[in-house]
Structure 1
Amino acid sequence: MSLNALLAKALAQRSQLIADAKANNTDCYRVFHGTVEGVNGLNIDRYGNAWLIQTFHQSLTAEELSEISLILNKLDELCVIYNDRSNKNSRILNPLDKTVEAFATSEQVIHENGIQFCSKLRHEGQDPLLFLDMRIGREYVKANSKGKSVLNLFSYTCGIGTAAAVGGATKVTNVDFSSFALAAGRKNAELNQVESVCEFVQSDAFPAMRQLAGMKVGGRRNQKLPNYPKLSPTQFDLVFLDPPRFAKSPFGTVDLINDYQSLFKPAMLATKKGGTIVCCNNVAKVDRQAWFDALVRCVEKQGRSVTQYQWLDCHPDFPSFDGKHPLKIVAIALA
């Protein structure tokens, strides 16, 4: 099947989703998830007043880009931005013409279920400022934060924290190492007039989590520990844990395949009895049930128990081959 036919089929399958998005004041969603829908490494998203096309394996030809743009603009005439990230380091390779470049590097406002988020489709980082597959997580947190304290770990641009604050949280603590990401998070809070509820902690997640959990801050062998913000032991009603696949720092190693527990344990200990921890794992080869079983064992080792749990499945604009999406999200209630 040609690229045009595959894209047309994907758009047809999303007709109800797109109609629902419009009714729910949502103008950001995926329209083509290439790995599953026929072109590996090609993703096409709507971000407000723009179509964002990204390639991760092979660059589009000028003809392919023109054909895709034509189909998209029949659906909605928006600015088309192409970010070719097919290099090994995922950096954007291609220049844009001046008008499109000006739009791509300017701040825009996008909407998801009525919540406003800042967007800039080319910036000093690589990824868009809002991950669209996490919509289900933001919806869950918004619906379950009223009157609660919320800890948002690896917060990036604080989409989860913003949703919690809009949902009526009494206090939201966002933790991320990136000053750039937290600056975007502050803008998101301001856009929704919830900045008085939101706190932004620029810190490596390991010392932040361990201090909040009342644990000693340590580091990797022979690593001198840099300075870090000092935090008092605190427990939260709702903790959201969404780490990257792999990262190293002097304080520890984030490894979602081999050692999720080193992240989960302090985050769980910072969760109140009767509270909920939402855990995310975006590695496709991690088996969902085996990962969940390991989380339960970790809870029980600390003398606590799981009272109930709920899997949060991605929306249909992020299809999977067999119903097993790489992004696994589970909300666990703890006693």
Structure 2
Amino acid sequence: MRSAELSTFFEQLESELSSIPNELRRLFHGRGRCWEGLEQITADWLQGQLVVQVFKQPEAQFIDALRQGLIDFSQSAVWEKQQGKTIVLQHRYQEGAPAEVVIGDLNSSPVVVENGIRYQLDVGRNQNFGLFLDMRYGRDWVKERSKDKKVLNLFSYTCGFSLAAIAGGAKQVVNLDMAKASLNKGRQNHRLNEHDTSKVSFLAHDLFKSWGKLKKFGPYDLIIIDPPSFQKGSFALTKDYQKILRRLPDMLTEKGLVLACVNSPSVSEQFLIDSMKEQAPQIEYQYRLDNPPEFKDINSQASLKAMVFALNK
């Protein structure tokens, strides 16, 4: 991380903030390694709040220059035009990922919009604020294909895919995640969008002990698998993903679709293609979804891989 490159960071912030729609967006993605000297910094616009995250401890000089640059940025014309209110600097390299409010007053539970869907976030208390912005096209894809469909959302977190599916006209969505608090946030977000929650199930279960229960809700027209790379005691991507894939043929309707995702930089798209071919050969690879342009990565295999498969019975 180099202080001399911060001028580039602020130039990109100004350019992106002046051109985005009235939605939340990532404005700067240094972790894609396309900006030399800025590889460990990101910036997200939460419709009035700017959240800047630093992932690796830099020299004190860098943090001081970044902090002063953010203060100066709050005086810019684009900040005023976009009605900016708060700037938060989150130190992800420190234990607990503490959030420092640089400008304004933190709104820790803002309501934001993406593609017509409202989400209430949780800012400043956790490493993540409740919605992974690189999955924007994935949520759009689900919304466009959910009309009158039955959807299974595995590792659902705060149920972003579920919100997209119901907004797209799904007749039923089943969300499964071990974290009850995340599912509760998903339920709140469905209510925030005035969705019919009688169409949505929230199962706080261990996936690998729940296949019988999930099968009773099925079969499904669309299954979404978006697991963490590693979850202590419950999931290791390269070891456990195959256990899920081999169950899919019995869970899908004829011509059912699977959106299988991996967001580990050390695992390529070929892992999913080969694993599906080995575990469920009747489910065939179709294509990989593009990532949003703001998440450009110097190595496409290191970024989010959202892969579409279809059952061919």
TM range (shorter): 0.7 to 0.9
Deviation at 1:211, TM superposition (A): 4.0
- From the superposition, tell whether residues 288 and 96 of structure 1 become closer, same or farther in structure 2 (CA, over 3 Å): same
Cα distance per residue 1:230-249 (max 9 Å; x no partner): xx362211110000001244
Listed as ranges, the matches of 1:1-335 within 5 Å are 2-11=4-13, 14=16, 19=19, 21-22=20-21, 26-35=22-31, 36=33, 37-38=35-36, 39-58=38-57, 61-71=63-73, 74=76, 75-76=78-79, 77-87=84-94, 91-96=96-101, 100=105, 103-105=106-108, 107-123=109-125, 125-194=126-195, 195-209=197-211, 211-213=213-215, 232=216, 234-249=218-233, 253-300=234-281, 304-306=282-284, 309-335=286-312
CA distance in 1, matches of 2:181, 2:71: 31
**Worse overlay, 142-151 or 198-207:** 198-207
CA distance in 2, matches of 1:98, 1:290: 44
Q: Which residue in the other structure is 1:227 paired with?
A: none
Cα distance per residue 1:186-236 (max 9 Å; x no partner): 1110111112322211112222345424xxxxxxxxxxxxxxxxxx36221
- From the superposition, tell whether residues 317 and 200 of structure 1 become closer, same or farther in structure 2 (CA, over 3 Å): same
Residues 40 and 57 of structure 1 are in contact (CA less than 8 Å); yes or no, is this contact kept in structure 2? Answer: no
Q: What is the one-letter code of the residue matched to 2:118?
A: Q
TM-score, normalised via structure 2 length:
0.86
- From the superposition, tell whether residues 92 and 287 of structure 1 become closer, same or farther in structure 2 (CA, over 3 Å): closer
SS in 2 for 1:86: coil
Deviation at 1:329, TM superposition (A): 0.6
CA distance in 1, matches of 2:71, 2:139: 30
Residues 153 and 242 of structure 1 are in contact (CA less than 8 Å); yes or no, is this contact kept in structure 2? Answer: yes
CA distance in 1, matches of 2:112, 2:309: 30
| Structure 1 residue ranges, 4+ long, deviating more than 6 angstroms after superposition | none
CA distance in 2, matches of 1:13, 1:269: 49
SS in 2 for 1:196: helix
Cα distance per residue 1:105-143 (max 9 Å; x no partner): 3x21100011111112123x4311111011011000000
CA distance in 2, matches of 1:264, 1:104: 40
Aligned length: 298
Q: What is the one-letter code of the residue matched to 2:179?
A: S
CA distance in 1, matches of 2:248, 2:93: 35
- From the superposition, tell whether residues 193 and 151 of structure 1 become closer, same or farther in structure 2 (CA, over 3 Å): same
Structure 1, gaps ≥5 residues long: 214-231
Structure 1 vs Structure 2: percent identity of aligned residues? 28
Residues 85 and 104 of structure 2 are in contact (CA less than 8 Å); yes or no, is this contact kept in structure 1? Answer: no
TM-score, normalised via structure 1 length:
0.81
Residues 43 and 55 of structure 1 are in contact (CA less than 8 Å); yes or no, is this contact kept in structure 2? Answer: yes
- From the superposition, tell whether residues 316 and 98 of structure 1 become closer, same or farther in structure 2 (CA, over 3 Å): closer
